[in-house]
Structure 1
Amino acid sequence: MVRISTLVGLGLVAAVSAHPGHDVKAEAAERAAALKGIRARGVNHCATQLNARGLEANNIARREQTLQKLRKARGLDGPLLKARDLSPLNETHHSDLAVDPTTDPSELFASGGSCVLAEDVTQGPYYVSGELIRDDLTEGQQGIDLYLDIQLIDSNTCEPLPDVYLDFWHSNATGVYSGVIAEGNGDSSDLSNLDSTFGRGLQRTDSLGVTAFHTLFPGHYIGRTPHIHVLSHPGGTKVNEENNTITGLYSTTSSYVGQLYFDQDLISAVRAVEPYDSNTVELTLNADDWILRQELDDDVDPIVEYVLLGESVEDGIFAWVSVVADSSVSKDVTPAAFLTEDGGVANENAWPGGGPGGLPSGFPTGVPPS
Structure 2
Amino acid sequence: MKSESPQDPSLKVITRRSILRGIGLSLAAVPVAKLLVACGGEDAPVDPGGATDAGVTDAGFTDPGVWATGGTAAMTAAASYPDPFASGLGTVCNLTCEATLGPCYATTVARKDISEGHDGLPVRLSFLIVNENCVPVPNATVDIWHAAPEGLYSGEDASDFCTSGDAVARAARWFRGVQTTDANGRVDFDTCFPGWYSSRTIHIHFTVRVGGQEFVTSQLFFDDTVNDDIVNTQPLYNTRGPRDTTNANDNVVSADSVGNYLFTTQRMADGAMLASKTLVIRSSLASAQCAIPGGGGGGGGPPPGGDGGMGPPPGFDGGMGPPPPGFDGGMP
Equivalent residue for 1:321, pick from 232, 252, 277: 277
Aligned match of 2:102:
124
143, 148, 168: which is aligned to 2:125? 148
Cα distance in 1 between the residues matched to 2:112 and 2:285: 25
**Larger Rg, first or second structure (1 or 2):** 1
Give the number of aligned pairs.
241
User: Equivalent of 2:115, from 109, 128, 138?
Assistant: 138
Q: Which residue of 2 aligns with 1:267?
A: 227
Q: Deviations over 1:89-147 (max 9, x none)?
A: xxxx99699985363679x86469x8954444x41341124x21111011111100000
Matched, 1:84 2:34: yes
Q: Is the 8 A contact 2:150 2:237 kept in 1?
A: yes
The partner residue of 2:186 within 200, 207, 210 is: 210
Choose the corresponding residue for 1:302, options 256, 261, 269. 261
2:291 aligns with none
Contact residue 96 and residue 281 of structure 2 kept, 8 A: yes
Alignment partners' CA distance in 2, 1:10 and 1:214 = 15
| Cα offset, 1:289, TM superposition | 1.5
Tell me whether 1:167 sits opposite 2:122 in the alignment.
Answer: no
Q: Which residue of 1 aligns with 2:56?
A: 101
Native 8 Å contact 2:36 2:46 kept in 1: no
Residue of structure 2 equivalent to 1:49: none
**Counterpart contact for 1:125–1:353, Cα < 8 Å:** no
SS in 2 for 1:319: strand
2: CA distance, partners of 1:177 / 1:115: 31
For residues 71-106 of structure 1, the C-alpha deviation after alignment (integer angstroms, 9 at most, x for no partner) is xxx9xxxxxx76424599xxxx99699985363679
Q: Tell whether the 8 Å contact from 2:263 to 2:275 is kept in structure 1 after alignment.
A: yes
TM-score of the pair, normalised by structure 1: 0.54
Contact map agreement 1:115 1:258 (CA 8 A) in 2: no
C-alpha spacing 1:193/1:208, structure 2 compared with 1 (3 Å): same
Q: CA–CA distance in 1 between the matches of 2:12 and 2:206?
A: 24
% identical aligned pairs: 24
**Which of structures 1 and 2 has the larger relative contact order (alpha carbons within 8 angstroms, sep 6+)?**
1
Q: Quickly say closer, same or farther: Cα 1:214–1:270, change in 2 above 3 A.
A: same
Relative to its length, the structure with more helix (as a share) is 1
Match of residue 282, structure 1, among 243, 248, 264: 243
Structure 2: distance between partners of 1:94 and 1:153: 20
Equivalent residue number for residue 215 of structure 2 = 255
Q: CA RMSD in A?
A: 4.2
Runs of 5+ in structure 2 lacking a partner? Answer: 1-10, 25-30, 39-44, 61-81, 287-306, 316-332
SS in 2 for 1:269: helix
1:236 and 2:197 equivalent?
no
2:17–2:172 contact (8 Å) kept in structure 1:
yes
Q: 1:293 aligns with which of 254, 271, 282?
A: 254
Output the TM-score relative to the length of structure 2: 0.60
1:327-354 deviations in Å (ceiling 9; x for gaps): 4229xxxxxxxxxxxxxxxxxxxxx999
**Following the alignment from structure 1 to structure 2, what is the Cα–Cα distance between the partners of residues 10 and 236?**
33
Q: Distance in 2 between matches of 1:317 and 1:170?
A: 16
